[in-house]
Amino acid sequence: MRRVQVLVYEHDSRLTGLLGERAAARNWWLREVRHAGACLRLLQGGGAGVLVLKVGRDLEREFVLLERVARRFPDTATVLVGDADNPTLAALAWDLGARYVLAPPQPREQLPDLVAALMGPAAPTPTTETP
């Protein structure tokens, strides 16, 4: 059985840190990527899940990645995370295929619950019961 993956495209590991505990508890494959090419290759391998895309360093490159992921991997939900409340960028993200835009005044601490909701119901945890 293939594990679903959560990819985090960022440069400072903060969002990956927010997701680490939930990923471990749910058996998600949590991967931090820093290059668009690596992100696309990992998605090509299957295991559609969620891409968390931190924007703000290079908006053109980040929005091109968002559009490519939405077009090539429609089963992958993309969460765009921004540092500023910018309705114009949020609208562009929606138009390019983001499933959710997380930006102020929404707290980043919502990210684990948001990703869990996008991943769908958790698979049952195996138990060992003795008769």
Between residues 15 and 121, which one has the greater pLDDT? Answer: 15
Cβ-contact 57, 11 below 8 angstroms: yes
- Whole-number pLDDT of residue 131: 40
- pLDDT per residue over 6-65, tens digit each? 999 999 999 999 999 999 999 999 999 999 999 999 999 876 799 999 999 899 999 999
Residue 120, pLDDT score: 78
Bond before 104 cis per omega within 30 degrees: no
- Strands, sheet with 100-102, edge to edge from the N-terminal-most edge strand: 29-33, 5-9, 50-54, 77-81, 100-102
Average pLDDT over residues 90-96: 96
Could you count the other beta carbons within 10 Å of the beta carbon of residue 118?
Answer: 18
Strand duo 50-54 + 100-102: pairing: unpaired
Structure tokens at 53: 């895309």
